[in-house]
């Protein structure tokens, strides 16, 4: 295949790197530049590229032409001149305008290329080098253009760079994104100089400040790269004031034209203008100005004696004194975590806070509480104060019941609140004057709520040596990084103040930059990703930017905190006579936010100031993408299938993969692998001795609360460790298989595993799952929805009440789930570009280069990507690296080299002749499952019985109602399965959630356990079992079916595992289909159920003859049909008795229902005298309008129980229920009840019976009988009927009289007047039929005609007698 050519018109050092990447990717490269230097020319030739002698030679036959446009009009003659016009460039070729000039010029250039040169595919490209740790120095490209142009250009852009950022729409995104980045660089440069200068003026060595802040929240890339050189008067030329002033001026000019305020950038530019106005060389201007402001020579300050604050802290801790009693005042968000961590560190801690519920929480956490600052301060060695501000600090120390008066002599006070250095100095003096030898440690903290609770704060402490020695053990317990700052009390607060200056400015500049980007029309999330790889980034940009993009202002640190902290900076600016233009302007922005009512929101809400002023929206929802376009834009897959190499390495490694599956759906990509549902050490030893390449342990931990899930994972890991040791010190790799839509216990499960197995070189996060449509591209996890890729954070899965999340970008997701303990900026990433261009060796190299304990996410868009990663990971393991993997199913099959096989059918397992019904159980509540259940019911309506389990009854109501729901469902299912009918048991589709994630998990448990109990009670062995949903399938396998192990045979459908249960299970050998809740389209469940249905009967005579199935039996149905049609012309109700059902079965019912539907008068079909619960359950499903639950043969309480059960069940189908109280004597359908067994209806019992059963009609016993009345005639108790009528009217119940044959017209009328609304007539109709058969007839047809006439006459007479004739 011929190589595709890319031409370069204009060539520089970046062009050379792009050309090298293209050549490595298999492209050929032509280049022309009249001024190409010898180095570039020589290197291009070495790579195999061609240096052309004319522009037309470059673009001839090229697939793409990259045109370097450094300045407007520079390429006018070459492109549009007489020799130009891009003649010879194919019409389908892409023109890439490499430029960052103004968008308006790029857009006009695009138009001219279209109008004058016929170019349809034009994109722009801003090319620069990445500066992030992971991609430092590598080429990245920002490109914009129309969708079709980008689709053509994307593979080429990807091939020539490390990262590509795409903006769809008009050209000019490169110029815009460069503006935003320069805006941040300018603000960060000036604020860094302001901060260092403030620190110098406060007497802190600038290099100590630099070292501390470079690892703190105030850090930025500009600060880290340029402050050391600025201090030495060697600022790089690109950030010299004059050139930067011009760039920032252009940005401000653009903002002016858009009527968009950039206050931070404006004051930063003013400082730079001040510098450029003082003459001198560009590199030294700001340096000299700040020397004048500070009155010092910066070089002398830098050269002052240095010390290491961390080493000083270590020495201090070693000689610190033992502390027994600690008081802690201020148990807010930070203080509570700090105090409880001290309790966990075995200090006795007395706590006080004005908020009483917090005191209760603290007592529950093991602390001792007091009712005032004084009460907790008596007899303590150390007092820690962690209140909000100086006023509160003053109050708790010196106010009513203040701590100072109660403290013993010689005690130490650690002040950890953020306050001004001046306040600390005054406090130290005031404590000294108390005459109690009280010692003060100035120890502000940084790190946030989570780190406070973990004891991993950064603390900047200062004070006398004696004070620090007394408080040293407490400071050490609360911190991960402890810095001792020399200079006495106030020095620690100075360092914190400088850090807060930078942190506050960086939050505000993030808001200004993202808001300006939104006004420029840029996708703010893509803009954010670009900046994080550029010099414009900062710690706060990467931490707070996502809050702004998600429009999530849940307060992690309130906006009012920076009103206070930058207020301290503004005050120090005034008192120290040092101008801090940028910091003071940032303070005004936070003040504006607070004044607008946003002070209690997260500090990222400062962006709302810009949004409210300008109307822009910074929120950067990741848009759904065209799946086809995205896949086409990716580089070609790695050309070699690594599966054989993986298998070979596994054979040699003897290192099994142990998959801890949080539900059974993780087996959806494997076959011929064993699954254990228990983890006793003995079972695991046996498994290890089999030397498997892989085995699963089903933990079902997703259904547990976090603490229980962690305990379970620890237990399994301990058992694995013990078993592996007993089996010969085997090594193994653990995979925590989790949901591909990111739900589950992360990071709890990984933390638990590491606590037992030891620290890993890296955690691997890999949720790619092809069959579920889960792709990770550009670090963003997507869920396929038809032809679109939807960011996972925008799907219903992200709204899960137990495991919900917001972030789709996996790096941000890790930060979100770890609550900031692992920042997004510290998460490594294996890109698709690395997988497809570098292959397994590049993966191995990157994994081996990771810092120990890293977290690494894996991008993947195909199974080949997954296999490439798996081979690279195995290679790294051979080099001694250890990994803990949190992955979806595809990783497992790739890691052990499994090749997929076609779906398994019942015939493959020899199960197609089994006759029992199949059992389908659906517990999953996700919307996809609901759609699949609805489609299943539509497609399989004729051969599927459906039983709905009311979630509210089993999870939210009484134990009695729960038991009734469970027993009813189990009985029905047992009957249907025994009748060879496939049966669907599904939970009601209304999702019920709790107030907290724990409450929701508890509800889920109750629902799942109810399904378990239902299946446990089903005694009939199903033909197969299908469980829908992860938790459902796990619980059914382990608890309901009691399986200790199973073998994954394969898949029933791609992504739908098929197991065979082990011999000890309740149904050994029964196929068990594990259907994940989030797999397949809306028809997938129906497809599986239909493929596992019993073969349907042959439906026609033609089928019988074609299949040669023996003789054909011909029966005339016209007789039965004719009888029904004629009778239905007269009757209002067609009654079927149990004996008739037994004889005629379903065909008889079908005939009755069909005839009723075709009748010209209203007809209902009734099932009479149902004494068998099984019969009644079955007929409820068959389309009857009403039934009689006849428990008259039972004792009263049993009759109530029987009738209530059937009544509740029938009412779910809107079926009217009749029941009998008392008992009729006589004979009907060969069943005789003797006279001594007869019982009249008891009026007192009737009231309770009606109330308890909820029936609609009551069949009364008032002396009526079945069959013939005695010679003396009927003796009906009409007084009893009168009382029953009064009760029935009160309760809204109809009265029914059985045994109406033989009643006189007078009695009938009296009964009607006393409330009887239905009479049952059987004996006289039967007698007429039998009498007609005694008369000889020529043929069966004539005999039937005679019988019809005879019955017709009786029915007509009875309808007249009952008053029903002619009322239809």
Q: What backbone torsions phi and psi does residue 438 show, to the nearest 5 degrees?
A: -75, 140
Instruction: Give the per-residue SS3 of 999-1015.
Output: HHHHHHHHHHHHHHHHH
Q: Which two tokens stand for residue 362?
A: 């603290």
Cβ-defined contacts of 1298-1303 (< 8 Å, 24+): 1298/1220, 1298/1224, 1298/1259, 1298/1264, 1298/1266, 1299/1224, 1299/1226, 1299/1264, 1299/1265, 1299/1266, 1299/1267, 1299/1269, 1300/1264, 1300/1358, 1301/1267, 1301/1325, 1302/1268, 1302/1269, 1302/1273, 1302/1274, 1303/1264, 1303/1274, 1303/1276
Q: Which two tokens stand for residue 1282?
A: 């009168």
Instruction: Give the per-residue SS3 of 365-397.
Output: CCCEECCCHHHHHCCCCEEEECCCCHHHHHHHH
Return d(Cα 579, Cα 274) in angstroms, integer: 12
Asked about 496 being catalytic, the answer comes back as: yes
Q: How many CB atoms lie within 10 A of CB 823?
A: 15
Q: How many CB atoms lie within 10 A of CB 1333?
A: 13
Whether the CB-CB separation of 331 and 358 falls below 8 Å is answered with: yes
Q: Which two tokens stand for residue 179?
A: 């503006």
Taking CA 219 as the corner, what is the angle to CA 215 and CA 224, rounded to the nearest 5 degrees? 90
How many Cα atoms sit within 13 Å of 401 on the Cβ side?
11
The helix (H) or strand (E) run that includes residue 334 is helix 333-344
Sign for the pseudo-dihedral over CA of 98, 101, 106, 107: positive
In DSSP terms, which residues pair with 350 in a beta bridge?
A: 327, 368
* CA distances in angstroms from 329 to 333, 335, 358, 362, 707, listed in the order given: 12, 8, 12, 12, 30
Q: How many CB atoms lie within 10 A of CB 37?
A: 12
**Tokens 């013990």 label which residue?**
722
Sign for the pseudo-dihedral over CA of 230, 234, 237, 241: positive
Which residues make Cβ contacts (< 8 Å) with residue 1188, sequence separation at least 6?
Answer: 1166, 1167, 1168, 1169, 1170, 1217, 1218, 1219, 1220, 1259
* CA distances in angstroms from 1150 to 646, 976, 1144, 1167, 1217, listed in the order given: 61, 18, 10, 13, 20
With 0-12 / 13-18 / 19 or more C-beta atoms within 10 angstroms meaning exposed / middle / buried, residue 551 is middle
**Cis-peptide into 747, omega within 30 deg:** yes
DSSP sequence for 893-919: HHHTTPPP-PPP-GGGGT-TT--SPPE
User: First vs last Cα of the chain: how many Å apart?
Assistant: 83
Longest dimension (CA), the chain: 136
Whether the CB-CB separation of 892 and 650 falls below 8 Å is answered with: no
In DSSP terms, which residues pair with 828 in a beta bridge?
A: 856
Taking CA 624 as the corner, what is the angle to CA 149 and CA 144, rounded to the nearest 5 degrees? 30
Catalytic residue among 496, 945, 1028, 1318: 496
Return d(Cα 954, Cα 949) in angstroms, integer: 8
Return d(Cα 541, Cα 261) in angstroms, integer: 20
Q: Which residues are catalytic?
A: 496
């Amino acid at each position: 295949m011929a190589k595709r050519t890319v031409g370069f018109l204009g060539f520089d050092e970046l062009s050379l790197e792009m050309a090298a990447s293209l050549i490595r990717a298999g492209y050929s490269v032509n280049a022309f530049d009249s001024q190409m230097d010898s180095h570039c020319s020589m290197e291009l030739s070495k790579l195999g590229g061609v240096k052309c002698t004319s522009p037309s030679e470059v673009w001839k036959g090229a697939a793409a032409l990259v045109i370097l446009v450094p300045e407007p009009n520079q390429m006018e003659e070459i492109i549009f001149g007489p020799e130009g016009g891009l003649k010879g460039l194919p019409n389908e070729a892409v023109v890439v305008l490499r430029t960052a000039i103004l968008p308006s010029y790029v857009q006009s250039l695009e138009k001219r290329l279209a109008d004058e040169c016929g170019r349809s595919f034009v994109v722009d490209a801003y090319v620069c080098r990445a500066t992030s740790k992971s991609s430092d120095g590598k080429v990245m490209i920002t490109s914009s253009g129309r969708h079709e142009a980008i689709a053509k250009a994307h593979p080429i852009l990807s091939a020539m760079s490390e990262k590509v950022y795409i903006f769809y729409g008009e050209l000019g995104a490169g110029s815009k994104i460069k503006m935003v980045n320069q805006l941040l660089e300018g603000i960060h440069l000036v604020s860094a100089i302001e901060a260092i200068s403030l620190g110098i003026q406060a007497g802190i060595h600038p290099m100590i400040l630099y070292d501390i802040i470079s690892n703190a929240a105030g850090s930025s890339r500009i600060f880290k790269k340029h402050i050391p050189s600025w201090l030495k008067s060697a600022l790089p030329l690109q950030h010299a004031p004059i050139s930067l002033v011009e760039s920032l001026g252009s940005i401000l000019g653009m903002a002016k034209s858009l009527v968009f305020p950039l206050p931070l950038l404006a004051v930063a530019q003013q400082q730079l203008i001040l510098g450029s106005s003082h003459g001198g060389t560009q590199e030294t201007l700001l340096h000299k100005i700040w020397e004048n402001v500070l009155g010092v020579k910066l070089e002398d300050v830098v050269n002052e004696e240095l010390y290491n604050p961390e080493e000083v802290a270590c020495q201090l801790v070693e000689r610190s004194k033992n502390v027994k009693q600690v008081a802690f005042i201020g148990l807010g968000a930070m203080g509570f975590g700090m105090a409880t961590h001290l309790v966990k560190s075995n200090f006795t801690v007395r706590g006080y806070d004005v908020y009483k519920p917090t005191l209760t929480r603290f007592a529950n956490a093991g602390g001792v509480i007091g009712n005032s600052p004084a009460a907790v301060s008596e007899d303590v060695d150390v007092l820690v104060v962690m209140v909000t501000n100086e006023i509160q600090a003053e109050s708790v120390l010196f106010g009513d019941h203040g701590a100072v008066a109660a403290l013993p002599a010689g005690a130490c006070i650690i002040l950890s609140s953020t306050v001004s250095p001046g306040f600390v100095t005054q406090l130290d003096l005031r404590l000294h004057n108390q005459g109690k030898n009280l010692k003060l440690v100035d120890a502000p903290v940084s790190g946030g709520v989570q780190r406070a609770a973990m004891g991993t704060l950064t603390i900047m402490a200062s004070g006398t040596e004696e004070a620090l020695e007394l408080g040293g053990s407490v400071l050490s317990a609360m911190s991960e990084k402890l810095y001792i700052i020399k200079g006495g009390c106030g020095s620690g607060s100075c360092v914190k103040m400088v850090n807060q200056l930078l942190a506050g400015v960086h939050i505000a500049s993030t808001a200004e930059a993202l808001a300006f980007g939104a006004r420029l029309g840029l996708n703010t999330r893509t803009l954010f990703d670009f900046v994080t790889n550029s010099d414009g980034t900062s710690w706060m940009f990467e931490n707070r930017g996502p809050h702004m993009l998600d429009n999530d202002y849940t307060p992690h640190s309130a906006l009012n905190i920076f009103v206070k902290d930058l207020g301290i900076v503004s005050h120090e600016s005034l008192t120290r006579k040092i101008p801090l233009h940028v910091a003071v302007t940032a303070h005004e922005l936070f003040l504006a936010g607070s004044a607008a009512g946003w002070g209690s929101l997260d500090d990222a809400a400062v962006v709302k100031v810009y949004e409210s002023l300008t109307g822009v929206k910074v929120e950067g929802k990741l848009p759904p993408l065209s799946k086809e376009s995205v896949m086409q834009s990716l580089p070609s897959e790695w050309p070699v299938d690594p599966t054989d190499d993986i298998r070979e390495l596994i054979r040699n490694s003897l290192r099994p993969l142990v998959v801890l599956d949080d539900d059974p759906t993780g087996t959806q990509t494997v076959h011929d692998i064993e699954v254990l549902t228990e983890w006793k050490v003995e079972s695991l030893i046996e498994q290890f001795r089999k030397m498997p390449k892989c085995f699963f342990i089903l933990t079902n931990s997703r259904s547990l609360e976090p603490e229980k899930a962690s305990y379970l994972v620890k237990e399994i890991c301990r058992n694995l460790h013990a078993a592996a040791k007993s089996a010969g010190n085997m090594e193994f790799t653990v995979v925590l298989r989790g949901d591909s839509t990111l739900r589950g216990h992360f990071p709890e499960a990984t933390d638990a595993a590491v606590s037992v197995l030891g620290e890993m070189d890296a955690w691997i996060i890999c949720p790619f799952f092809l069959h579920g449509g889960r792709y990770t591209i550009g670090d963003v996890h997507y869920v396929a929805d038809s032809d679109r890729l939807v960011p996972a954070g925008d799907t219903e899965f992200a709204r899960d009440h137990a495991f919900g999340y917001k972030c789709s970008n996996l790096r941000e997701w890790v930060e979100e789930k770890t609550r900031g303990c692992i920042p997004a900026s510290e998460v490594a990433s294996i890109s698709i570009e690395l997988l497809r261009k570098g292959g397994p060796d590049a993966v191995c190299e990157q994994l081996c280069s990771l810092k120990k304990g890293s977290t690494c996410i894996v991008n993947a868009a195909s199974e080949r990507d997954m296999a490439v990663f798996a081979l690279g990971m195995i290679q790294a393991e051979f080099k001694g690296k250890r990994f803990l993997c949190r992955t979806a199913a595809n990783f497992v099959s790739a890691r052990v080299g499994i090749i997929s096989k076609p779906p398994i059918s019942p015939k493959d397992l020899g199960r197609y002749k089994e006759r029992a019904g199949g059992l389908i159980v659906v517990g999953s509540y996700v919307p996809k499952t609901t759609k699949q259940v609805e489609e299943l019911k539509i497609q399989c309506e004729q051969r599927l019985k459906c039983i709905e389990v009311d979630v509210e009854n089993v999870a939210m109501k009484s134990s009695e109602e729960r038991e009734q729901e469970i027993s009813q469902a189990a009985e029905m299912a047992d009957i249907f399965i025994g009748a060879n009918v496939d049966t669907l048991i599904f939970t009601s589709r209304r999702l019920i959630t709790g107030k907290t994630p724990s409450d929701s998990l508890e509800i889920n448990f109750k629902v799942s356990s109810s399904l378990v109990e239902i299946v446990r009670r089903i005694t009939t062995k199903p033909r197969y079992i299908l469980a829908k949903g992860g938790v459902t399938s796990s619980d059914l396998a382990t608890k309901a079916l009691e399986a200790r192990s199973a073998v994954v045979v394969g898949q029933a459908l791609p992504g739908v595992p098929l197991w065979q249960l082990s011999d000890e299970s309740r149904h050994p050998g029964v196929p068990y289909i594990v259907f994940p809740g989030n797999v397949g389209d809306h028809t997938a469940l129906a497809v599986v159920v239909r493929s596992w249905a019993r073969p349907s009967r042959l439906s026609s005579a033609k089928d019988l003859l074609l299949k040669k199935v023996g003789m054909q039996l011909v029966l005339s149905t016209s007789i039965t049909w004719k009888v029904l049609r004629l009778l239905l012309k007269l009757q209002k109700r067609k009654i079927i008795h149990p004996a008739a059902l037994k004889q005629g079965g379903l065909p008889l019912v079908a005939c009755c229902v069909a005839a009723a539907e075709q009748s010209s008068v209203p007809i209902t079909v009734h099932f009479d005298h149902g004494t068998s619960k099984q019969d009644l359950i079955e007929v409820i499903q068959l389309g009857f309008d009403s039934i009689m639950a006849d428990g008259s043969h039972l004792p009263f309480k049993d009759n109530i129980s029987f009738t209530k059960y059937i009544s509740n069940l029938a009412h779910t189908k809107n079926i009217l229920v009749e029941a009998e109280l008392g008992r009729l004597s006589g004979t009907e359908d060969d069943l005789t009840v003797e006279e001594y067994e007869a019982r009249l209806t008891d009026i007192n019992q009737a009231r309770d019976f009606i109330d308890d059963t909820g029936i609609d009609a009551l069949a009364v016993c008032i002396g009526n009988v079945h069959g013939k009345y005695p010679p003396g005639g009927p003796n009906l108790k009409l007084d009893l009927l009168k009382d029953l009528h009064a009760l029935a009217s009160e309760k809204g119940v109809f009265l029914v009289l059985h045994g109406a044959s033989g009643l006189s017209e007078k009695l009938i009328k009296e009964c009607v007047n006393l409330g009887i609304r239905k009479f049952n007539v059987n004996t006289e109709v039967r007698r007429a039929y039998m009498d007609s058969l005694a008369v000889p007839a020529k043929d069966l047809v004539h005999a039937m005609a005679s019988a019809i006439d005879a019955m017709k006459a009786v029915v007509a007479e009875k309808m007249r007698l009952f008053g029903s004739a002619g009322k239809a």
